[in-house]
Structure formats: C-alpha cells, structure tokens
Amino acid sequence: MFDCAIVGGGLGGLSLAILLAKKGKKVVLLEKETYPFHKVCGEYISMESWEFLHRLGINLTAMQVPLINQLTVSACNGVAIHQPLQMGGFGISRYTLDAELAQIARQAGALVLENHKVESVDYQGACSVLKVGNQNIEAKVVVGSYGKKSNLDVQLQRKFVTTPPPPDQHYIAVKYHIEADLPINLIGLHNFEDGYCGISKVDNLADGAARYCLCYLTTAKNLRLNQNKIQLMEENILMKNPFLQQYFSSFRKLYDKPLVISQINFEPKKIVENHILMAGDSAGLITPLCGNGMSLALHAAHLLAPLLVDFLENRSTRTSLEQNYTQLWQKNFAKRLAAGRLLQKLFGNPLLTNLSVGTLRHFPAVVQKLISLTHGKRF
Ligand SMILES: Cc1cc2nc3c(=O)[nH]c(=O)nc-3n(C[C@H](O)[C@H](O)[C@H](O)COP(=O)(O)OP(=O)(O)OC[C@H]3O[C@@H](n4cnc5c(N)ncnc54)[C@H](O)[C@@H]3O)c2cc1C
C-alpha cells in the first residue's frame, strides 16, 4: 500500500513526488512514456518558479539556462510591440527538465515507474486501486497530474469530455526545435489567422545546436482547410505574418517531423474527481499565450504537498483535504485562467489583433498590466 500514487510524470507529478518523498512518504509515480522525451510545450518558464525548482534540486544557475526578459508580440500584418518583461522567465526543454526531475524524485525515494499507463482508478474508501496492465496498485490517496487530456478523463466521464466545445474551439498545437539566429533573451509571440506562435531559446541538448523552441496553437479547422497537411497550413496561413515568413523560410528544423497534439480544451475543470486530486493541466489548462502553465503545475504541487502530509499523518480528514485543496487552487489560479481565456480572444482574429497590437504599442503600461493578470508571485 502506497501513501500516494501519482498518475502522470510531468512537472506537476514529478515535483509533488519529490516533495512527498522528501517528507518520508511512500510514493509511486506512474508515467506512460519513457524519459527523456519531447513534449508539445513552448518551454518558456516564468520566473515565478525559479526558486522552487532550485529547492527541488534543479540547479538552473549551473545549467546556464537562457534568461528571457524581452517580449515581441506581432499582429498578423507584422506590426509589433517590443517590451521588456517585468518578471521574465527562462528557457529549458521538457526533454531535459522532466528527465532531471524524474532522477531527483528517484534519489529522494519515490518509486518512478516509466512505461506504466494507468487504465483506471477505483476509489474503495480507505484506499484507491489503480489498474496498470495486469497489475493492481493500491494507495491511500491518488493525485491526477496526467496533463491536458488522458484516457482517465474518459473513464471519469469528466464534463469537458462528455460536452465537447463548439467546433471553432477545437485546437491543435504543433512544436519544433529549430536552430535559429535570434537574441537569446527574447520571446516572440506572433499572431496569424486563428492562432499564435511562440518562439524562444532553450538549452542546447547534446548536439550543441543553438536550439530554440517554436510552438504554435491553432484551430483544427485551419488544418482541415489545408488538406490536413501541417506544411501547407504553415505556408498558406502562418507565413502571412512577416515574422513567421522569415522564421519558417530560414531556420533549420532539428526534428524530421513536428510534434502535434489535438483536442486541447481550455474550459474550467473540477479540481477533485472521484477523490482524485488534480494538479497541473488536469485541474485546468491556462491558455499558452500566458506562458506559465508549467509554473501553475509546479505551484499546484507546492500547495498540495503539505495538505497531503497532514492527511497522511491523520491531522485532517479526506473531506477537509479535498475541500481545502479545491479552495486553495481556486484562490491561486482561477482568476489567472479566466484572464488567459479572455486574452486569447484578442489573439488570432486578424482585424482584432492588427487593431489591438497597433493600439497597445502606444500604451506599454497597459501591456504590462495585461501580462501581470495571468502571472503570480514567486513561490
Ligand atoms: C501549445 C502549448 C504551448 C505551451 N507553452 C508553454 C510555455 O511556453 N510555458 C509554460 O509555462 N507552459 C506552456 N504550456 C503549458 C504547459 O505545457 C503545461 O501547463 C504543463 O506541461 C503542465 O504540466 P503537467 O504536469 O500538468 O502535465 P504534463 O507535463 O502534460 O504531464 C502529464 C504526464 O502524464 C502522462 N500521462 C497521461 N496519461 C497518463 C496515464 N493514464 N498514465 C500514466 N501517465 C499518463 C503523460 O505522458 C505526461 O508525461 C503550453 C501548452 C501548450 C498546449
């Protein structure tokens, strides 16, 4: 019997595993993939997580991760805002970061099982039973940190699965690592019709290429209109933005094929489902233009760990654990997710973005205010 079973080894799950293992708890983390692996993500982490990652054992200073403190936002027509970022962030690939955290989790005493896909979670009162292949794993409490959408959401019949969003809100995301010649401290956010594309520096990995992450979100409709061909969509739609025209025509792609995911949903979700405490994207996905979904996942683990320790040491009941976590989550993140959803409406519509970027570039204080609405404090 484990104290805690964590489903999904992304940032939320791995950081929670480390925190609980360091408190002497018996933790198992189940991850369906094998580290290291690439993930669709813009790989820009807001500075709010800097100290927390150091406390977990990731020495970002020694890793010399690129520090990012300048922002360029361009409208579909190429008109751009250039601004310093007040808090800023840094770039690190998920390939590197997730694998490092998995190693630290193991060193701290957590059992990290790769290539283990959880098929179901059955709550039985004193414990829950997780089914993985023909294995059953028992734990006193289960955390769902399995990301944006997973087979477990279907098993749990979560509302966003049973009531899909309208067709114009079916999103896909595409990511490349590219070799580029751009300022190291700059993050670019470039609009195109029904989507936006981020580009910023990450660590160089073993090949030593000057590696940048280029990642975009768009509608499934844009892909359908282009014979379901990514390259055609990029040529016909993304490259109408002069910045993206230059990037796609001059930068060298470092993978043969892009990573692509679909069915991305930004609707609010329940924080606890069938006694599974959700952390990270499984509790709610902030729109990627905010550039801080990773910090939210890490921060959720930071909030949840002490509540779990209290429960496991009999200082609180399961009901109060679930209520307290839901309240803390809502207090810390709900407004930021709502602001992100609103801001996303400004992006992707050519007329609106041309107008808003054209206007906002004369009001830098308003831009800073908009950014701050989606960001939190260092934790
Ligand atoms: C296009 C796009 C760009 C983004 N850019 C940024 C950015 O620049 N900065 C930022 O901060 N955030 C960004 N985000 C958001 C960020 O990627 C997420 O918020 C973050 O990864 C959430 O971490 P997580 O731990 O919740 O989930 P994840 O990192 O997705 O981890 C979930 C893990 O669960 C595993 N899993 C799933 N189902 C199961 C199962 N049944 N059993 C076992 N394992 C399972 C998966 O393999 C995965 O490893 C972006 C998101 C998108 C869509």
Q: For residue 98, which of 35, 22, 174, 21 has the smallest C-alpha distance?
A: 35
Q: Is 187 in the pocket of ligand 1 (CB under 6 A)?
A: no
In this prediction, residue 303 carries a pLDDT of 98
Pairing of strands 80-91, 67-74: antiparallel
Atom of ligand 1 nearest to the CA of 292: 11
Whole-angstrom Cα distance, residue 379 to residue 365?
Answer: 25
Query: Would you say the pTM of this structure is higher than 0.85?
Result: yes
Atom of ligand 1 nearest to the CA of 200: 8
Whole-number percent of the chain with pLDDT over 90: 81
Q: How far is CA 133 from CA 117, 119, 147, 323, in A?
A: 8, 7, 20, 32
Q: Is 153 in the pocket of ligand 1 (CB under 6 A)?
A: no
Give the mean model confidence (pLDDT) for residues 12-25.
98
Residue 271 has pLDDT above 90, yes or no: yes
Q: Is 81 in the pocket of ligand 1 (CB under 6 A)?
A: no
Cα of 260 vs centre of ligand 1, distance in Å, is 13
Give the mean model confidence (pLDDT) for residues 236-244.
97
Atom of ligand 1 nearest to the CA of 43: 8
Cα of 294 vs centre of ligand 1, distance in Å, is 8
Residue 269 has pLDDT above 90, yes or no: yes
The model's pLDDT over 277-326, given as tens digits with 9 standing for 90+, comes to: 999 999 999 999 888 999 999 999 999 999 999 999 999 999 999 999 99
Give the mean model confidence (pLDDT) for residues 220-233.
96
The model's pLDDT over 38-70, given as tens digits with 9 standing for 90+, comes to: 999 999 999 999 999 999 999 999 999 999 999
Residue 373 has pLDDT above 80, yes or no: no
In this prediction, residue 167 carries a pLDDT of 80
Span 2-373: which CATH code? 3.50.50.60
Instruction: Give the lowest-confidence range in 172-176, 226-230, 285-289.
Output: 285-289
Q: Is 217 in the pocket of ligand 1 (CB under 6 A)?
A: yes
Cα of 113 vs centre of ligand 1, distance in Å, is 18
In this prediction, residue 326 carries a pLDDT of 98
The model's pLDDT over 319-372, given as tens digits with 9 standing for 90+, comes to: 999 999 999 999 999 999 998 888 888 777 788 888 888 888 888 888 787 777
**Distance of alpha carbon 159 from the chain centroid:** 21
Q: Which residues pair with 121 in a beta bridge?
A: 130
Please choose from 281, 298, 333, 374 the residue to mutate so as to test ligand 1's pocket, defined by most ligand atoms within 8 A of CB: 281
In this prediction, residue 123 carries a pLDDT of 97
Q: Which residue's CA is the nearest one to ligand 1's atom 41?
A: 118
Whole-angstrom Cα distance, residue 13 to residue 101?
Answer: 10
Cα of 134 vs centre of ligand 1, distance in Å, is 26
Instruction: Give the lowest-confidence range in 8-22, 85-99, 333-347.
Output: 333-347
In this prediction, residue 110 carries a pLDDT of 98
Q: Which residue's CA is the nearest one to ligand 1's atom 21?
A: 294
In this prediction, residue 325 carries a pLDDT of 98
Residue 213 has pLDDT above 80, yes or no: yes
Q: Which residue's CA is the nearest one to ligand 1's atom 5?
A: 42
Cα of 43 vs centre of ligand 1, distance in Å, is 11
Q: How confident is the model at residue 241 (pLDDT cuts 50, 70, 90)?
A: very high
Whole-angstrom Cα distance, residue 344 to residue 352?
Answer: 11
